Amino acid sequence: MLENSLNTVFKDEEVSHRILSILGDAKEYAVIVSPYIALWGHAKNAVQLAVQHRVKVMFLVRNDTNVVQSADMQWLVDNQVEVYALDRLHAKIYFNESNVITSSMNLTQSSSTDSFEIGTLVNDPGEAKEIRNYVISILFPLANPLGKQLQASAPTAKARKIPLNHSGKAKEIRNDVTSRLVNAGRLALGGKPSKPAPSRTKSQSGFCIRCEERVSIDLAKPLCDKCYQIWARFGDEDYEEEVCHSCGKEADVSYAKPMCLTCYRRQAKGIGGNAGLRW
């Protein structure tokens, strides 16, 4: 194992152990991006334990006949795992709320025991964020969920590829994501949907704290609709966002605290206190 301030490199038999630790160490969510899946005993145990601990587990696999109609896909769906399929998927990425691993290894038993593999634990926060953003903001919007096609515990259908959604809506998502990622991966992870927020008032104009789109100021909903949909996949109110909801300047903000300190104090002073404000 090689380690420095930016990354930790591990090889061969240690790779599968590190990948399974993504599931074992997860507290909120675990994302497995692996074109090919062939689960073995330890891998299934890791998935089941994560689900039992109420970790949201998501798999993204290649949209290949032998993959999407395999017994392992059925097993994952039966065990309350969200499974998605994507054409031409080649990346192998594994992450939870704390760690990100990129690797040469597919999550298969043969790769874990018989192949020469290498992996990297990404220690740089900025790089880890960009990798998460790539998966959540680029790959998942282009993928199709397999749950409806497989139907938990249903008999296996005739092997076929799952047709992906190439509608205008999918193209719109792709184009929108691409344009927003030009700004150095400004999109971040999200999480569980929060309670419905009151509608925005149109009298005050602010900024989406993630993509900087102009929106009405609403401290209960500081993201634009598109960024909120991405945020709502995971739900982390303390995840670091990009700009102040009020002034639009770069600041240490989050969904829970969407304003910079200056704007927060100005807003609190303007209403005679800080009731209803979050910072």
What pLDDT score was predicted for residue 150? 63
Which of 33-37, 238-242, 259-263 is least confident? 238-242
CATH code for residues 2-150: 3.30.870.10
CA distances 20 to 105, 257, 262, Å, are 12, 33, 44
In the chain, CATH 3.30.870.10 sits at 2-150
Residue 214 CB partners (closer than 8 Å, separation 6+): 205, 206, 207, 208
Residue 8 has pLDDT above 70, yes or no: yes
The per-residue pLDDT for 197 is 39
Q: What is the mean pLDDT of the chain?
A: 79
Checking if the pLDDT of 177 tops 50, the result is: no
Let me know: does 214 contact 256? Beta carbons within 8 Å: no
Does position 202 have pLDDT exceeding 60, yes or no? no
Per-residue pLDDT, 148: 61
Q: Which of 6-10, 141-145, 266-270 has the highest mean pLDDT?
A: 141-145
pLDDT tens readout for residues 78-98: 999 999 999 999 999 999 999
How far, in Å, CA of 72 to CA of 262, rounded?
53
Q: What pLDDT is attached to residue 147?
A: 73
Residues 111-121: tens digit of each pLDDT: 877 789 999 99
Q: pLDDT-based confidence at 275, cuts 50/70/90?
A: very low
Q: Which two tokens stand for residue 16?
A: 């599968």
